[in-house]
Structure 1
Amino acid sequence: MGISWREELALGVDQIDNQHKELLARFDMLLTACKQGKGGEEVLYLLNFLDEYVVVHFGDEEKLQRQSSFPDYESHRQEHQSFIDKLADLKKRIADEGVQIDLVLDTNKLLLDWLIRHISIRDMAVGRHLRGSC
């Protein structure tokens, strides 16, 4: 069972929805690689991708929030920083311990669970706000 985009995750903001689709597609690649016994190789690729991509994605989201005077901007920004911190911790663990199956599983669970929960709850609130302020 992989992970794929579901329309109920759509915010109605094409730029952000497309970025979310890309993030989920990358996690699906990791899940597929794990099923094929290649998760260790793919997890490094995913973490390096996320290092760069989330900075752009979170920056785009936060810019829209500031421009629309989103009332919960600061706590949303802090959640983004929390994800970046978790990502850095996982990368450090891999650098210190090497790629281990438990780290691959932690990456799957920690980051993917965070991402789905964040999109379906926190980003949805942003989407409602943006649609209401247009």
Structure 2
Amino acid sequence: MAYTFTKDLETGNQLIDSEHRQLVDAINNLLAACGAGKGRMELANTTKFLQDYTAKHFSNEEKLQLQYKYPDYATHKRYHEDFKRVVAGICAKLEKEGPTIPLVGEVNSTIAGWLINHIKKEDVKVAAYIKGK
């Protein structure tokens, strides 16, 4: 099941929303590859992209939060650090075990679920705060 970037995922910040779209697209590309029986082949590309891109994206978000003195910055940063550890763990599994079907499933459920939930619950709060400034 592909993810759709709907209104409830928009933060109203053009940079953040465009980066979120790219993250959702990466998950959807993996899902499409799975549907075509090529999920294991696409797994390395997706995990590498997620590892690199989330670092860039989280850095951009955190700079905005500092710029606008977001009061819950420390908690939000901790969420980002936790997620980076999850992605690093998946990358380590991939390196150790290779592209397994269970690992594809873990990326699809864990990574996609976390991103969507984080955007809807946390990033929209940041965006609302910034809009109010």
TM-score, scaled to structure 1 = 0.97
1:46 aligns with 2:46: yes
Gaps of 5+ in 2: none
Give, in angstroms, the shift of residue 7 of structure 1: 1.6
Q: Could you tell me which residue of structure 2 aligns to residue 125 of structure 1?
A: 125
Q: Could you tell me which residue of structure 1 aligns to residue 89 of structure 2?
A: 89
1:65 aligns with 2:65: yes
Using the alignment, how far apart are the partners of 1:102 and 1:9 within structure 2?
28
Give, in angstroms, the shift of residue 94 of structure 1: 1.1
CA displacement, residues 13-42 of structure 1 (integer Å, 9 cap, x when unaligned): 000000001110111000111111100111
Q: Does the residue aligned with 2:12 lie in a helix, a strand or coil?
A: coil
Q: Number of aligned pairs?
A: 133
**RMSD of aligned alpha carbons:** 0.7
Q: Could you tell me which residue of structure 1 aligns to residue 2 of structure 2?
A: 2
Q: After the TM superposition, which parts of structure 1 deviate over 4 Å for at least 4 consecutive aligned residues?
A: none
Give, in angstroms, the shift of residue 100 of structure 1: 0.7
Using the alignment, how far apart are the partners of 1:65 and 1:55 within structure 2?
15
Using the alignment, how far apart are the partners of 1:36 and 1:129 within structure 2?
42
* Counterpart mapping for 1:13-24 below 5 A: 13-24=13-24
**Aligned partner of 1:117: which letter?**
N
Give, in angstroms, the shift of residue 49 of structure 1: 0.7
Using the alignment, how far apart are the partners of 2:43 and 2:120 within structure 1?
24
Q: Could you tell me which residue of structure 1 aligns to residue 35 of structure 2?
A: 35
Using the alignment, how far apart are the partners of 1:37 and 1:116 within structure 2?
25
Give, in angstroms, the shift of residue 124 of structure 1: 0.7
Using the alignment, how far apart are the partners of 1:104 and 1:8 within structure 2?
26
Using the alignment, how far apart are the partners of 2:25 and 2:98 within structure 1?
25
Using the alignment, how far apart are the partners of 1:83 and 1:49 within structure 2?
14
Q: Does the residue aligned with 2:106 lie in a helix, a strand or coil?
A: helix
Q: Percent identity over the alignment?
A: 35
